[in-house]
Structure 1
Amino acid sequence: MKTARQLLAAKAKHETISVSPTATVYQALQMMADANIGAILVMESEKLVGIFSERDYARKVVLMGKTSAGTPVSDIMTHKLLCVPPSATTDECMGLMTEKRIRHLPVLDGDKVLGILSIGDLVQEKMADQEFTIEQLAQYIYH
């Protein structure tokens, strides 16, 4: 079973995209659209202070009558972050995401941000692992 560090290393786009807490929601959404991602880390210098997701936008801007251009990310970002260390396994990450009903999980080595895993990253890894197991069992049976 792979660790969070191994999953990040294997990602095609390993670049971590972040935004300042003073950026507008519109700016964050534009960056997310350009990178084709559903969440963006909110960083002050090198410190992770929050995460902003499409879910935050839908629930805390649109439904509350705020504007994207006039609202800073810090007003609506998720402040209470769930993070994992690089040693966390795929199953541990999936379990945490399922239990807490989140779709994005920052990976931190101490205070240093290594990257972010999405539920899609974990599902893809789980499927690859299951395919490998099936192939191994099939080879065992046929030989």
Structure 2
Amino acid sequence: MKKVKDILSEKINAETHSIAPSATVWDAIKLMTDKSVGALLVTENDKLVGIISERDYMRKVALMGRASQTTDVRDIMTPNPLTVAPDQTTEVCMELMTEKRIRHLPVVENGKILAMLSIRDLLENIMEEQKHLILQLEQYIRGETY
């Protein structure tokens, strides 16, 4: 089973985007839209203090009748998000995301933010591993050896 660092090394766009807790939700949604991401890390003095996602916006702004232009990110973010280390296995990450019903995991090592791992990253990895396994099994069945 692969580790988080393996997935990150294969990731085409490993850029991580963040926003300050004092920024408006409007700014966060605009940044997510501009960068085509579903979540942002919320940082203060280079420290991870939270995470804000499209889901947070829907549940805590749109459905509650708040105005995104006047609501601060800190008011709707998920504080102290779960994080994983680069040496964590993808299997553990998938279990964690499934159990906690989350789609994004910040990758942190020694307090330093390295990246954001998404459920899409994990699913793409699983599909590639399954394709490889199927190919190996087909070759085995045909008696091919390499």
TM-score for the superposition, normalised by structure 2: 0.95
Give the whole-Å Cα distance in 2 for the aligned partners of 1:24 and 1:9: 33
Per the alignment, residue 83 of structure 1 pairs with 83
Which runs of structure 2 are paired with 1:48-87 in the superposition (5 Å)?
48-87=48-87
Give the whole-Å Cα distance in 2 for the aligned partners of 1:119 and 1:106: 12
Per the alignment, residue 139 of structure 2 pairs with 139
Q: What is the CA-CA distance between 1:80 and the residue it aligns to?
A: 3.5
Kept in 1: contact 2:48–2:80 (CA 8 A): no
Per the alignment, residue 119 of structure 1 pairs with 119
Give the whole-Å Cα distance in 2 for the aligned partners of 1:77 and 1:20: 11
Larger Rg computed on CA atoms: 2
Q: Deviations over 1:79-106 (max 9, x none)?
A: 1311111111111100000011101011
Report sequence identity in percent.
Answer: 53
Give the whole-Å Cα distance in 1 for the aligned partners of 2:19 and 2:103: 18
Q: What is the CA-CA distance between 1:59 and the residue it aligns to?
A: 0.5
Give the whole-Å Cα distance in 1 for the aligned partners of 2:134 and 2:22: 49
Per the alignment, residue 4 of structure 1 pairs with 4
Give the whole-Å Cα distance in 1 for the aligned partners of 2:20 and 2:101: 25
Q: Deviations over 1:34-84 (max 9, x none)?
A: 111100000112100000000100000011111111011011100131111
Q: Which structure 1 residue ranges, 4+ long, deviate > 4 Å from structure 2?
A: none
**Alignment size in residue pairs:** 143
